[in-house]
Amino acid sequence: MKQITLHVYQSLDGCPVGADKHFDAAADASCCVLIDEETYLRIYLNHLGWPLTAKETLVVTGGCIDLTEKERVRFVTGDAAAELRRIKADGEGTVTAYGAETGALLLDNGLADEIVVTTVPVLVGGGDYPVSMIGSGVVSAGTGSDITGTSSIITVLANTPMLHPEVSNVATMDGLWGRFMLLDSGGDAVRWARRAFHQNQLSYDDVTRLAGEAPAGFILAIALWLWFTVLFANFA
């Protein structure tokens, strides 16, 4: 009976990564290669041809375009799990498997005999917004942040997302959910106010200080004045 070895590649920070060159070396030691449609297309495009010519490649697909008619590539369609069980029972050797959908198929059906995890020396990192929350210490449920750049993002971390039409959610790298609301004119509004009211003569620290010293209701009056200015400008 053939043994199926699933190869999984991760970055130094634990994120899944494509590692075609690492996989090529693993494939050399097997009698057969098993991949999914996405991996098949990526390998073909990266090499501008099909590099795995010395052995048969099985591609699990729902109807992929055949780019390798003259190569030893066979497409597995229909009941892929049943076909892989038949392949396992036919003869001896090792099948090297690779790809996210391939892994899901093998694990869901108990077809993987071995899982090899390889760490590739790269860092995936993340976007500036979720990474900045980690850098500011917002890493546990119940903590929150106000990140103001061009826009402002108000976030509270929780164990579950909030399903509300006015609330957005982002998955964090720690497995939590950031429930957030976005103000499109955050820091950009401060920049506009500095230019409109102070002709760019005051620093942002001075503008912040003056705003803090403004009497109660002053900010609301300014906001209403700006709203009416924009409203009448649209009708003019």
List, for residues 215-224, the tens digit of each pLDDT value: 766 666 666 6
Q: Is there a contact between 102 and 35 (Cβ–Cβ < 8 Å)?
A: yes
| Residue 48 to residue 160: CA distance in whole angstroms | 44
- 186 Rama sector, left if φ>0, alpha if ψ -120 to 50, beta otherwise: alpha
Low-confidence ranges of the chain (pLDDT < 50): 233-234, 236
- Which residue reads 């006015």 in tokens? 166
**What pTM value is reported for the model?**
0.55
Structure token digits, residue 184: 């499109």
Closest CA to 95 of 66, 52, 124, 136: 52
Q: Is there a contact between 80 and 88 (Cβ–Cβ < 8 Å)?
A: no
Structure token digits, residue 107: 């694990």
- 93 Rama sector, left if φ>0, alpha if ψ -120 to 50, beta otherwise: left
Phi, psi of 60 (to 5 degrees): -80, 120
Given this model, what pLDDT does residue 222 score?
64
Given this model, what pLDDT does residue 228 score?
56
Average pLDDT, the chain: 81
Given this model, what pLDDT does residue 223 score?
62
Given this model, what pLDDT does residue 236 score?
47
